[in-house]
């Protein structure tokens, strides 16, 4: 099935459940402490409703002030006049953005609202955090790489916890009757992390997640953001003297390390010709998810790309979850 570009054959992928040798001993304690520190923080926010031409939709521009005052720019779209409904938290891919209201209209037909934020430093959200190191490599993977508590994605995960706090608060524009997380690539990883950190997510849709199983990804990925780390070693540390320190930082944010805490329904997808988020890294995440209600769609000839066939599967999955 498929060409299995630079990765395991399908029978090995199905059973690929690697030992988490890079998961820090204090991983759970670290994130419990971060969650506890933020759980009573109610961020400042603004909601500016647009004059939107679709009569069945209401659309708002959101600004949410995060823990370090970084203003996270968001988009909220809901079925007109509904005051309570299910909410999908949508996470975008690396270098992407929250998208346009038109991207989410299909979910309104199911009676679902969608909230999507630009990840800090990406889209139109700035990043007010200060990072101790510089780098010759463009991108976000190396910001703060020398210290896990100050690392870029540690801050992103803090943002997500605050976003979820707000979504479940009385200050959110609707009462969320269910909350689901959804995304692809970087967004797929953030959906898994959100579910693992939150502990109360109702469902997750994660397409070909990035930030997954770094030990394997750094060996076989040929394109995309993982290459920032490969090139960091090439140009900053050619003898890999700091490899252990780098891997320790990445161990705190690897989405696979959050998967054992996921017990809700999960739909995932993978393309067997994906050299950006290699199939083995996706299956590593999938096989570590604790939920008994999980499924992964395998697309033999798809690379790291949009998949219209899978969009139909996602609509069917979400519709089913709303009936539970």
- For residue 53, the number of C-alpha atoms closer than 13 Å in the C-beta half-sphere is 1
* Catalytic residue list: 185, 274, 304
For residues 147 and 250, give the distance between their C-alpha atoms in angstroms, rounded to a whole number.
10
For residues 125 and 231, give the distance between their C-alpha atoms in angstroms, rounded to a whole number.
26
Burial group, residue 177, by CB count within 10 angstroms (0-12, 13-18, 19+) = middle
SS3 114: strand
Q: Walk across the sheet containing 294-299 and list its strands.
A: 45-49, 57-65, 71-79, 113-117, 84-91, 175-184, 203-207, 265-271, 294-299
Long-range contacts of 282-286 (CB under 8 A, 24+ apart): 282/208, 282/209, 282/212, 283/13, 283/14, 283/16, 284/16, 284/17, 284/18, 284/212, 284/213, 284/216, 284/256, 285/189, 285/192, 285/206, 285/209, 285/212, 285/213, 285/255, 285/256, 285/259, 286/259
Residues 183, 169: contact at Cβ < 8 Å? Answer: no
């Amino acid at each position: 099935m498929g060409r299995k570009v630079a990765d395991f054959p399908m029978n090995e992928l199905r059973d690929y459940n690697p030992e988490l040798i890079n998961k820090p001993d204090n991983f759970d304690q670290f994130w419990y402490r971060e969650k506890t520190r933020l759980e009573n923080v109610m961020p400042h926010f603004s909601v500016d409703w647009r004059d939107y031409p679709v009569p069945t939709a209401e659309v708002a521009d959101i600004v949410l002030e995060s823990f370090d005052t970084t203003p996270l720019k968001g988009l909220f779209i809901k079925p007109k006049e509904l005051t309570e409904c299910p909410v999908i938290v949508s996470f975008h891919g690396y270098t992407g953005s929250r998208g346009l209201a038109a991207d989410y209209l299909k979910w309104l037909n199911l009676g679902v609202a969608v909230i999507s934020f630009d990840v800090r430093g990406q889209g139109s959200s700035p990043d007010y955090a200060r990072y101790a190191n510089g780098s010759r490599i463009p991108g976000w993977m190396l910001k703060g790489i020398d210290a896990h508590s100050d690392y870029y994605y540690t801050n992103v995960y803090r943002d997500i916890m605050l976003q979820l706090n707000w979504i479940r608060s009385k200050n959110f524009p609707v009462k969320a009757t269910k909350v689901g997380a959804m995304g692809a690539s970087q967004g797929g990883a953030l959906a898994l992390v959100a579910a693992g950190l939150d502990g109360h997510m109702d469902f997750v849709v994660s397409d070909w997640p990035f930030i997954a199983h770094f030990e394997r990804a750094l060996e076989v990925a040929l394109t995309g953001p993982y290459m920032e780390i490969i090139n960091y070693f090439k140009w900053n540390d050619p003898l890999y003297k700091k490899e252990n320190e780098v891997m320790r930082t990445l161990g705190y944010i690897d989405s696979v390390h959050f998967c054992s805490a996921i017990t809700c329904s999960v739909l995932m997808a993978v393309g067997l010709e994906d050299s950006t988020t290699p199939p083995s890294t996706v299956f590593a995440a999938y096989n570590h998810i604790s939920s008994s209600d999980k499924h992964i769609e395998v697309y033999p000839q798809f690379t790291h790309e949009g998949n219209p066939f899978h969009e139909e599967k996602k609509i069917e999955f979400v519709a089913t979850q709303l009936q539970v």
